[in-house]
Amino acid sequence: MGMLMMNLVLINVTPVNAAAKKESSSPCAAALTHDFYSQSCPKLHNIVRTVVKKAVARDPRMAASLLRLEFHDCFVNGCDGSVLLDNTANFTGEKSAGPNKGSLRGFHVIDEIKEWLERECPQTVSCADILAIAARDSVVEAGGPGWRVVFGRRDSLTANITLADEDLPSALYSGSQLVSNFESKGFNLRQMVALSGGHTIGFARCVPIAPSIYGRVTDDHSMNPAYLTFLEKACPNASATTLIPLDDDTPAKFDSSYYTNLLGGNGALHSDRDIVDSAGTALEHVQHFAKHQDSFFDEFAKAMVVMSNIQPLTGSQGEIRTNCRFVNPPCTASKAATVSPSLGRKLPLVQTSAP
């Protein structure tokens, strides 16, 4: 599937959006840094890279799934690991929100990373930081760019299913709705178009695609008739279980063909197609990224750094969960987490030239 390990292209930028600056100005907040775990958990990068590499090799779709987890976490109350919380008898988390239920995946990969880290450096690395580095490494594994990840986020004590339903962008959004949604999180138009390029990997179910096929959503930009025929056969109704690649040319490779497909009318999602037609000067960015993959990679990496800085919990805020699926029990007696002996310990570390 073209999943050979690519050289890591590091983008040395650390922009911080307004929301993150607001958090860091709090008396109990602290700045995110590249070397936050250099002393307390020096094997962090190798551990995460090893688990992600194995997971993507086993299932190439996992690269897109891990990237999507980071996006769906940061767009709801900031990058705080809230998307990872399981439902309990007294709590309903973001996993049950409409945009997430039945479609978010990759939680077991985060679990494996966390269990290994709890063995190596107990109660040290937050689940929110794991999401940030796993998203980067998954993009690299798919052939995309790398970027320097900053650390120091802490984990939330709760989640917000209502906000997840409200703030996560819908596949049925118009281009202008998508722009407004991203602007509310601190992104400009070029960054929004670059982040949409994350759809160069991954698949969608028929649920968000069927409305475009059968007339419940009207597209101003004409879909390629041959591609429409393909979608009609693949998704005879919204409940069909077919998985449609968001990039029909190279669905497992992180490249610029997503933009080429959009320009040819071969976008699976209404929100993607409408970027080309109704989002102001977005078309110019789509055309540029289609021709200049290096530019797309550079802008995507920078935008991911901005996203990972959305309202992080830092300092004494939140906690460091020992299990990413649940908040810590009160009065934890020991720093050592209960982990499965079968995970992590026997995996060889993948050495990297740079974090």
Catalytically active residues are 72
Task: Please state, in angstroms and rounded to a whole number, the distance separating the CA atoms of residues 135 and 130.
Answer: 8
How many helices (H) and strands (E) the chain has is answered by 14, 2
Three-state DSSP string of 89-139: CCECCHHHCCCCCCCCCCHHHHHHHHHHHHHHCCCCCCHHHHHHHHHHHHH
Instruction: Extract the tokens encoding 8.
Output: 């890591």
Residue ranges of alpha helices (H) inside 185-281 are: 189-196, 210-213, 225-234, 257-263, 270-278
Question: Which residue, 80, 115, 73, 77, is CA-closest to 95?
Answer: 73
Strands, E assignment, the chain: 203-204, 244-245
Instruction: Extract the tokens encoding 326.
Output: 């649940």
